């Protein structure tokens, strides 16, 4: 196989990895906020259940969770899992990262002084207005470094989709390396992950600077 053909195949895998990355962020960031609200609920039953689920998701390997999500429709209900591979990957990644984001959101929200809630109430703000106009902008500034770390980890974790035989960057690199007995595909993959994370870090630093006025 010549170098150009190899790069074309790896480029296809790169697009697949980027698809997992962006779809996971789109679903997990808002889901994480909802989970954080459940975790902070005054209802002990709700808070306890959400806390237990977060503990399970953070305490077990993502690869195992992907396998569970992929196979459970068949083993529990006898449903066909044809065509379920990619949706299972997105569901597994999104739910797992939502658990991590939920704890990050919670720590940020709890770091805001209670006096700001009281001041907003005196000024006539509703709870929803208080959260989205006053609390959330400050929370985002506080949690941005932690969110950046998780996003960088997500770039590398996209390679775990190989456990479901999905042809993303790492899977294709392994396939080419085994067939051609060369280490070059792994080097190309490493450069891709590194450059992608450099871009992520740059974008997140720009966001931090834009929020520096808080």
What tokens appear for 198 in the block? 């450099």
**Contact present, 98 and 30 (Cβ < 8 Å):** no
Say how far apart CA 28 and CA 32 lie, in whole Å: 6
The stretch 119-141 carries a mean pLDDT of 83
Residue-wise pLDDT for 148-176, tens only, equals: 999 999 999 999 999 998 999 889 999 98
Say how far apart CA 214 and CA 207 lie, in whole Å: 12
Percent of the chain at pLDDT exceeding 70: 99
What tokens appear for 88 in the block? 């299972």
Lowest mean pLDDT across 58-67, 119-128, 176-185 = 119-128
**Mean pLDDT (the chain, rounded):** 90
The one-character DSSP state at 83 is T
**0.85 exceeded by pTM:** yes
**Contact present, 213 and 35 (Cβ < 8 Å):** no
What tokens appear for 205 in the block? 């630093």
What tokens appear for 39 in the block? 């975790």
Report the CATH superfamily, name and number, of domain 3-210.
MetI-like (1.10.3720.10)
For residue 33, the tally of other CB atoms under 10 A from its CB is 18
Residue 9: φ, ψ to 5°: -65, -40
CA distances from 186 to 19, 34, 115, 190 (A): 20, 38, 53, 6
For residue 140, the tally of other CB atoms under 10 A from its CB is 16
Residue-wise pLDDT for 79-100, tens only, equals: 888 889 999 999 999 999 999 9
- H helical segments located in the chain: 3-39, 44-59, 62-77, 85-111, 114-122, 127-129, 136-157, 169-180, 184-210
């Amino acid at each position: 196989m010549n170098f150009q053909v190899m790069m074309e195949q790896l480029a296809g895998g790169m697009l697949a990895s980027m698809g997992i990355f962006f779809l996971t962020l789109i679903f997990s960031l808002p889901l994480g906020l909802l989970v954080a609200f459940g975790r902070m609920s005054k209802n002990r039953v709700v808070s306890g259940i959400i806390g237990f689920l977060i503990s399970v998701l953070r305490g077990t390997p993502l690869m195992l969770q992907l396998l569970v999500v992929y196979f459970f429709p068949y083993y529990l209900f006898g449903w066909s899992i044809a065509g379920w591979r990619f949706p299972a990957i997105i569901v597994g990644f999104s739910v797992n990262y939502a658990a991590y984001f939920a704890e990050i959101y919670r720590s940020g929200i709890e770091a805001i002084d209670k006096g700001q809630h009281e001041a907003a109430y005196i000024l006539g703000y509703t709870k929803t207005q208080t959260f989205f106009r006053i609390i959330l902008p400050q929370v985002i500034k506080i949690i941005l470094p932690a969110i950046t770390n998780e996003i960088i980890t997500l770039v590398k974790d996209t390679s775990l989709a190989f456990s479901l035989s999905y042809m993303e960057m790492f899977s294709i690199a392994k396939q080419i390396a085994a067939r051609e007995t060369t280490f070059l595909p792994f080097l190309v993959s490493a450069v891709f992950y590194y450059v992608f994370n450099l871009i992520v870090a740059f974008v997140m630093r720009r966001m931090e600077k834009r929020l520096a006025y808080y």
